[in-house]
């Protein structure tokens, strides 16, 4: 579900951007992936970082197929283009993991006596 939300939001934001606004073209996939990973982290009972990262991996796979926009447009020769794609995908995975971690429910103390405090 998070991957679907991420790809849809990123694609809609990319379509809304003008072709001359390159920074918005970078922000659209990052916003989409953050929203999708945040949703996955909220829905997970625990391990929000893991679920956010899974959304990131799913988004990268959807991006490879060509159904979702990439954050960085490939440019240059073969080596530079490959490094640019790797950097963009690493950025997506980092944003997804961070958003999932932020959204994850925090563990609370199950003790009502307060005996574990101050240690």
Q: Count how many domains the chain has.
A: 1
pTM of the model as a whole: 0.77
Q: Confirm whether 20 is domain-assigned.
A: yes
Q: Confirm whether 91 is domain-assigned.
A: yes
pLDDT tens for 44-85 read 888 889 999 999 999 899 888 888 888 877 777 888 888 888
Please tell me the predicted confidence (pLDDT) of residue 66: 83
% of the chain beyond a pLDDT of 90: 24
Q: Confirm whether 84 is domain-assigned.
A: yes
Q: Confirm whether 56 is domain-assigned.
A: yes
Q: Confirm whether 63 is domain-assigned.
A: yes
Dihedrals phi, psi of 99, to nearest 5 degrees: -65, -40
Range(s) of the domain holding residue 22: 2-103
Instruction: Give the helix ranges, DSSP H, for the chain.
Output: 2-16, 22-43, 48-65, 78-103
Between 77 and 118, name the one with better pLDDT. Answer: 77
Of the pLDDT bands very low, low, confident and very high (cuts 50, 70, 90), residue 100 is very high
Please tell me the predicted confidence (pLDDT) of residue 81: 85
**pLDDT above 70 for 9:** yes
Tokens 């996955």 found at: 40
Please tell me the predicted confidence (pLDDT) of residue 80: 84
């Amino acid at each position: 579900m998070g991957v679907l939300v991420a790809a849809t939001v990123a694609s809609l934001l990319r379509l809304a951007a003008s072709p001359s606004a390159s920074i918005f073209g970078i922000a659209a996939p990052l916003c989409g992936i953050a929203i999708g990973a945040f949703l996955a982290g909220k829905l997970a009972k625990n391990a929000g970082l893991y679920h956010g990262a899974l959304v990131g991996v799913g988004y990268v796979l959807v991006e490879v197929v060509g159904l979702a926009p990439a954050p960085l447009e490939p440019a240059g020769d073969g080596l530079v283009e490959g490094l640019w794609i790797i950097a963009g995908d690493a950025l997506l995975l980092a944003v997804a993991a961070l958003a999932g971690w932020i959204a994850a429910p925090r563990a609370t103390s199950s003790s009502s006596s307060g005996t574990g405090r101050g240690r």
